[in-house]
Amino acid sequence: MSRYVLDASAVLALLDAEPGADKVATVLMDSAIGTVNLAEVHTKLAERGQSGRQALAELLSVAEEVVPFTEEQAAITGALRASTMHLGLSLGDRACLALGIALGAEVYTAERVWAQLHLPCAVHLIR
């Protein structure tokens, strides 16, 4: 089981060689991405004009483990709404955090607002 979970923002930083990519690279081989965040990254790559097949291949080359969105994660995602609404977290944000909680893993993100959260999983800002 992966020790780390990557948010879509962390994966995009890595793929685009943005600041923080080095932090993501250090945990990459022991990281998971949830299917909801995989869809987010896929969407961003497709918006840039990459073909679906090319975008998916690039994504899968980055993620060590792709974790399907489960009923447990759905329940955690829904429960996080009340405590994160004031910070504007999206469904994808909460799904990523739910995966981290469900796996007992640390989450890597570029979303600075996540530093304000008090959760049962560690959140690491990549920049």
How confident is the model at residue 1, as a pLDDT?
75
How confident is the model at residue 15, as a pLDDT?
87
Q: In whole angstroms, how far apart are CA 103 and each of 21, 35, 49, 50, 55?
A: 23, 14, 33, 31, 26
The tens-digit pLDDT sequence of the chain (127 residues) is 789 999 999 999 998 899 999 999 999 989 999 999 999 998 898 898 887 677 677 777 777 899 999 999 999 999 999 999 999 999 999 999 999 999 999 999 999 999 999 999 999 999 9
pTM of the model: 0.92
- CA 79 centroid distance within chain: 18
How confident is the model at residue 68, as a pLDDT?
97
Homologous superfamily of 4-125 in CATH? 5'-nuclease (3.40.50.1010)
Where do the domains of the chain lie?
A: 4-125
Count CA atoms within 13 Å of residue 123 on its CB side: 22
How confident is the model at residue 118, as a pLDDT?
93
How confident is the model at residue 52, as a pLDDT?
67
Phi then psi for 126, rounded to 5 degrees?
-85, -15
Separation CA 126–CA 9 (nearest Å): 9
CB 32 within 8 A of CB 4: yes
